[in-house]
Amino acid sequence: MTPLRLAIFDCDGTLVDSQADIALAMEAAFATHALPAPPRADIRRIVGLSLGEAIRQLSPDLDAQTASALVQAYKDAFRARRAAGMVEEPLYDGIAALVAGLDAAGWLLGVATGKSDRGLAHCLDHHGLTGHFVTLQTADRHPSKPDPAMIEACLDATGAERAHTVMIGDTAYDMAMAVNAGVRAIGVDWGYHHPVELIAAGAEAIAGSVDELALLLKGLEA
């Protein structure tokens, strides 16, 4: 009997290129509180973390009240940009075909992301991908990566075994989360952390393109 195969994707930096939208919303949040915005290179580094943890890493000296206010300001800024039609979050080339092909081949597909439920739903709906995924886990219901809670929830929701589950992501947080959950980890090099960091965090392979990722996943079907 063929085992259930589960591929869990990160979203930002793996499925979609959202760094510009995230940076603009973060800059707006800091401006709301008359605080200097972190450099964009630093903002890029925290993409994938839950929002509260991202703020703590960007500004570790902030008091809890200000940090909480920045979290809300970021949410407000991002929603305002979305309402104005300014959020793009383009899919990386080839991702739509990859997702559809994996679904057709019998893979179960999930998402584990630092986005909110609402943000992920908007993103997947916009790109017509929602129907391909059977489990969606977000920062609204779980601790920040690299805690394994989101992967554990994907496993519980699908019944897949750890040995037949792979986490696909672009950051060290994704790879460490996979290691912590005892599942396989494949990194992608088109996102926000360097491949060397992904390997150091536990990636067993790095895909240099979506086609290469498809081949790596094909190799796991044996």
Active site residues: 10, 12
Q: At what angle do helices 19-32 and 64-83 cross, to 10 degrees?
A: 130
The answer to whether the CB of 191 falls within 8 A of the CB of 19 is no
Tokens of 135: 């489990």
The answer to whether the CB of 167 falls within 8 A of the CB of 204 is no
What whole-number distance in Å separates Cα of residue 55 and Cα of residue 217? 34
For residues 124, 128, 134 and 139, what is the CA-based torsion angle, rounded to 10 degrees?
A: 0
What whole-number distance in Å separates Cα of residue 193 and Cα of residue 146? 14
For residues 105, 111, 117 and 122, what is the CA-based torsion angle, rounded to 10 degrees?
A: -50
Identify the H or E element spanning 185: strand 184-188
Tokens of 213: 């990722």
